[in-house]
Structure 1
Amino acid sequence: MREENPFREDREELQELLNQYERLKNGGSHSFLEEDAFERIIDYFDDREEYAQALEAAETGLEYFPYSSQLLIKKADLLLATRKYHEALEVLEQAELFDSNDINLYILKTDAYLALDQQEKAVVLLEDALLRFDGEERIDLLFELADVYDDYEEFDKVFDCLKLILEEEPANEEALYKICFWTDFTGRNEESIRLHQKIIEEQPYNELAWFNLAASYQGLKLYEKSIDAYQFAIAIDEKFDYAYRNMGDAFIRLRKYKEAIEALEKVLELSRPEEVIFEAIGHCYHRLSNFAQARFHYRKASHMNPEDSKLQYKIALTYINESQWDSAVKHLDNAMRIQKTVPEYNLAMGQCKMEQEKYKEAIVFFSIVVRSKPRSVTGWEALIRCLYKAGFYDEAVTQCRAALAATENKPVFYFHYSASLFAGGKMKEGLLQLEKGMSLAPKLVKKLVEMAPAILQKNQVVDLIARYKKGRKI
């Protein structure tokens, strides 16, 4: 019967203990309760989060077994649960007199010290305890110490604890998972590489060790090596979605977009779809100039997070690349409904409006860019080119002066300045500004030619450019 219904028998046994305990409390006749019976009764109330009754059971048990370190430890645990930290420490000191080799003493004392914001005491306690214990108990204490160092913001020491654990127990999954994060956080990639190479020598089929090795190579931007290590992890566990995810990132860094797409699509097969994966696949297609597929994946990401304006902006960029200005404007409108003043969005909208020959609207958007990023060359160039294309040459001249003042005389604006002056019929002033530009950065003369190709029909301009290109000045 016991073999058929062990749980039922356990429940009945526990119920009988609870009945006896009630009779004991009420002064009725009862069987003698052993120490372990009180422990079971305490656990019963503790599991139900009935802490007052659990504490009462602990105190009752201690009346019968005053030298029981186990009952004292359980009482201290309950005091911690009810935030009575000082009382818990007193009880633990008492328990230590009867049994100083119980690891729970140190773990509960640590919890109390941390709750009282006494991290230094917790560190001293655990470092002392590490000398007393070995095997699994030492591993438990190292994890505890790592948590204390985390709380104490001694992050390099967190890494040290995890490294010690893995040196003693190379297959410890919890430590392998945690050290990956702390390697990245502390930047101790070289140490991590050496540690995991050693683990792999002993355990060549440990996929987490291969993954951590790969992540450490990735942290050092050694992407080819990281990909090789991720492929070993995947060979051991073909459903290791995080390995595919990180490998996709490494391929993107190497500009191997087709391989990145393949890895990231595997992530979608193996795990719940995520916005960031669709966006990354979209980015890869964008780089491959497959704008339709880029849009498709950006849209999937956007459906998952409609409030992310950046995704609408990226969709717009695919249309800009195809010169589909109306469609681009629609998605930029969507982006700017969410975030109106982002300079990149205004710059793109200005570009679209300029291509649609809606120059006045374009100038408004470019002006917003210039106001928000006055030192940005890109914004000023876009505004000046737009004014030039619209035939507002005097205003283009004014903005060239403003751009030079705002950007500490970036040479490129002397070429825009000269083009605007030439277009306004001010040949002498135009040559003067062109000469300034040529003396500072002769290669940027292409900016003048892009704005005003016909300028090369003017002999004075051609002669000036030719003299500077030969390395002689007027």
Structure 2
Amino acid sequence: MEFGLPEDNNNISLKKFESMLKTNNVLFFDSNEFENIIHHYLEIGKIALAKKAIKLGLDQHPSSINLKLFQTEILVLENKFDDANKVLEALHVIEPNNEEVYIQKANVLSKQDMHEKAVNTLLIALDLATNNEGIGDLYALIGMEYLFLDQFENAKLYFKKCLDIDLEDYSALYNIIYCYDFLEEHNDAITFLNSYVDQNPYCEVAWHQLGRQYVTINDLDKALAAFEFAIISDDSFVGAYLEKGKVLEKKKHFLEAIENYKITLALEEPTSFALLRIGHCYDKLKQYDLAVQYYYKTVHEDPLLDKGWIAITKFYNKQKNYQKALFYINKAINIDSENVVYWKLYAQINSRLNFLEEAEHGYKKTLDLGNYELQTWLSRADILITLGEFEAAILNLIQAAEFHPETAEIEFRLAGLNFTLHENSKGHYHLKNAVLLNHEFEYIIEELFPKVLQRPTVREILLAAKK
């Protein structure tokens, strides 16, 4: 469907239509005016107004094919597929060679996950299409259907056909690269993009994508050159400066990376990503005052960005300023109490401050949120042992063994705990298991259960394991 009314006429039609809705006076519009009004409302997402325009349009122009096609579009949006098909079948009888009818039929099929049938229907529409713009749109629709089918080679083929019609169809370009990425054909993507920039040498999008492909294969020098060409093509392209900054970081050129990140701050509103990266760069340069300033700016810019809170917490942790680290991780937890990394840091910092009950709570919360790493179970167990909560420690370790069976670190702890609680048969059982799994962890008994080590039977089992 073509929409070609001049902008002024379109605005006059819209104002007239909206005035009519307010006054309830029915005014006459020609079918082209209705089409442009409906198209406008669909583009801005005002579906209810589009539906009103379609109803009034069909009241005044009941034989308009285009208005009925808009009607099917709305029916598809409302998942009324049977109703949409009835309208389309009636239209097909009237205009069997109308490509738009087939496009809407394909849309109905696609929405019902019948993508193979949608492709076949679009191929019929393609045979009926007469102008390049319409053919390009159909290639794009067929490409998308193949994406839904995970047929990436076919999808690539049709998106490349889009570029044959319009070299600056960047949506098709992105989709082609998506296919290459999914298939992990990075060298092929590089070959394709190099060929593309030969034809369109000032395409910042292509240079940017080429740089990202070079990063993927770890050819950082070529990546850097590609991002520089993207910037030459468009010196306000924020994405290219960000990617160039990331590559410079990898090459340990931190001052140059900072320079590129700062350019993005000048070009657009500051982004938390750029602020965070600048902070990391200053951190690497040991310019700690500047590093922490940018970490502060990061969490101020985006309080929901977990990487910002983690960075500032780890910064103070590394400086051994555990009180400040705890202050910031508490702030982070107040914002998002379901973040596993926050609770893990909370537990570690409290442990360093010897706030053992708080540390144990942190590790428990970490486990409750699904972090089942061995070290988390062991750290919680060791704190419970220090607190004298031996039965809770045993329960914790038994749960840990479900996720990490046949683990010497767990078995040595269970042995020591059971001996401590005078469950000698269980103690012997776990100790024998432990030394069979890996006797090198016997230092656990010495460090956590020195009294248990004094038992002759324990020393006997440990000595036997060394022979």
Q: What is the TM-score of this pair, normalised by structure 2? A: 0.66
Higher mean alpha-carbon deviation, 392-401 vs 180-189, is at 392-401
Q: Which of 315, 340, 344 matches 2:341?
A: 344
Q: Deviations over 1:315-340 (max 9, x none)?
A: 22222111212222222222222344
User: Equivalent of 1:123, from 119, 122, 137?
Assistant: 119
Of 307, 320, 323 in structure 1, the residue corresponding to residue 317 of structure 2 is 320
Choose the corresponding residue for 1:44, options 26, 33, 43. Answer: 33
Matching residue within 67, 70, 74 for 1:78? 67
Residues 142-172 of structure 1: CA deviation (Å, up to 9, x unaligned): 1232344456675654333112222454444
Q: SS at 2:30's partner residue? A: helix
The farther-off stretch of 145-154 and 229-238 is 145-154
CA distance in 2, matches of 1:397, 1:51: 69
Partner residue in 1 for 2:272: 275
Provide the C-alpha distance between the structure 1 equivalents of 2:322 and 2:32, rounded to a whole number of angstroms. 70
Partner of 1:208: 205
Task: Name which of 364, 375, 380 aligns with 1:378.
Answer: 375
- CA deviation string 1:369-411 (max 9, x = no partner): 4565685222234335546777x59789958965884533434
Which whole-Å CA distance do the structure 1 matches of 2:307 and 2:258 have between them?
20
Residue 110 (structure 1) shift = 0.5
**Cα 1:387–1:289 shift into 2, 3 Å:** farther
- 2:79 matched residue in structure 1: none
Q: Which amino acid aligns with 1:41?
A: D
Q: Distance in 1 between matches of 2:118 and 2:145?
A: 7
Which protein is bigger by CA-based radius of gyration? 1
Deviation string 1:220-275 (CA, Å, 9 cap, x unpaired) is 55555433322222232222211222334445566665554443333322233233
**Cα distance, 1:178–1:264 mapped onto 2, change above 3 Å:** farther
Count, aligned residues: 409
Q: Which amino acid aligns with 1:107?
A: E
What is the CA distance between 1:435 and its match in structure 2? 10
Name the amino acid aligned to 1:42.
Answer: S
The answer to whether the Cα contact below 8 Å between 2:295 and 2:312 also exists between their aligned partners in 1 is yes
| Structure 1: tracts of 5 or more residues without a match | 1-6, 19-37, 60-71, 425-429, 459-463
Q: Secondary structure at the match of 1:82?
A: helix
238, 258, 261: which is aligned to 1:264? 261
Q: What is the rounded CA distance, in whole Å, between the counterparts of 2:315 and 2:252 in structure 1?
A: 19
CA shift in 2, pair 1:42/1:144, >3 Å: same
Shift of 1:78: 0.4
Deviations 1:84-123 (A, max 9, x none): 7433553355345xxx5xxxx3134302441365655542
Evaluate the alpha carbon distance shift between residue 124 and residue 409 of structure 1 in structure 2; reply closer, same or farther with a 3 A threshold. closer
What whole-Å deviation, never above 9, does each CA across 1:180-210 have from its counterpart, x for those lacking one? 4454455453443222222223343333222
When residues 268 and 177 of structure 1 are mapped into structure 2, their CA distance, relative to the original with a 3 A threshold, is farther
Shift of 1:417: 8.1
- Could you tell me which residue of structure 1 aligns to residue 50 of structure 2? none
Q: For residues 114-134 of structure 1, what are the alpha-carbon distances to aligned partners after superposition, in whole Å with 9 as ceiling and x for unaligned?
A: 136565554224324545657
Q: Which amino acid aligns with 1:91?
A: L
- Determine the C-alpha separation between the residues in 1 that align with 2:164 and 2:180: 15
Q: CA RMSD in A?
A: 5.1
- Render the CA deviation track for 1:9-55: whole Å, top value 9, x for unaligned: x97xx99xx9xxxxxxxxxxxxxxxxxxx9x9321233344445544
Q: Are the aligned partners of 1:416 and 1:448 in contact in 2 as well (CA < 8 Å)? A: yes
Which residue in the other structure is 2:91 paired with?
91
Kept in 2: contact 1:393–1:423 (CA 8 A):
no
Change (3 A) 1:382 1:334: same
Q: For residue 143 of structure 1, what is the aligned residue in structure 2?
A: 140
Deviation string for 1:411-453 (max 9, x for gaps)? 44577789999999xxxxx9x999987886687689899x69x
CA shift, 1:81, in A, is: 1.7
Distance across 2 between alignment mates of 1:250 and 1:448: 48
* Number of the residue aligned with 2:104: 111
Distance 1:51 1:382, change over 3 A: closer
Contact 1:347 1:366 survives alignment (8 Å): yes
When the two structures are superposed, what TM-score results if normalisation uses the length of structure 1?
A: 0.65
For residue 79 of structure 1, report the CA deviation from its aligned partner. Answer: 0.6
